[in-house]
Amino acid sequence: MRVPNVRPFLRRARSWRATRRRARTKRRGRLVRGVPSSLARRAKLPKLPSPRRIFLQEDINFLVTNRIPRRLATRFMGWFSKVENPALCKITIAVWRVFSDLDLSDAEPVRYRSLHECFTRRLVPGARPIDADDTVVVSPCDALVGATGRLCGTDLIQAKGFPYRLEELLADPNAAAKHRNGWFVTLRLTSAMYHRFHAPYDCDVERVDYISGDTWNVNPIALRRVERLFCRNERAVMTLRLQPSQHAVTLVAVGAILVASVRLHCLDIRLHGRYRGPEVIHCRAPHDKGQEMGWFEHGSTIVVLAPPQFELVPDIAEGSVIHMGQPLFRLPRGSH
Which pLDDT band, with edges at 50, 70 and 90, does 311 fall under?
very high
pLDDT > 90? residue 152: yes
Q: State how far the Cα of 178 lies from the Cα of 171, in Å rounded to an integer.
A: 13
pLDDT > 50? residue 47: yes
The CA-based diameter of the chain, rounded to the nearest angstrom, is 122
Alpha carbon 333 to its chain's center: 34
CA distances to 70, 114, 119, 216, 217 from 73, rounded to whole Å, are: 5, 18, 17, 11, 12
| Buried/exposed 82-119: b ≥16 CB within 10 Å, e otherwise | eeeeeeebeebeeeeeeeeeeeeeeeeeeebebbbbbb
Note the pLDDT of residue 32: 42
pLDDT > 50? residue 39: no
Q: Averaged over 235-253, what is the pLDDT? A: 94
To the question of pTM greater than 0.85 for the whole model, the response is: no
- pLDDT greater at residue 31 or residue 18: 18
Max mean pLDDT among 8-22, 194-208, 247-261 falls in 194-208
pLDDT (tens digit, 9 = 90+) per residue, 219-242?
888 888 889 999 998 889 999 999
- pLDDT greater at residue 188 or residue 72: 188
pLDDT > 90? residue 17: no
Note the pLDDT of residue 181: 96
| Count of Cβ atoms closer than 10 Å to residue 10 Cβ | 9
Q: Averaged over 175-180, what is the pLDDT? A: 93
Note the pLDDT of residue 3: 47
Which pLDDT band, with edges at 50, 70 and 90, does 149 fall under?
very high
pLDDT (tens digit, 9 = 90+) per residue, 94-121?
888 888 888 898 999 888 999 888 888 9
Task: Give the catalytic positions in this structure.
Answer: 142, 198, 300
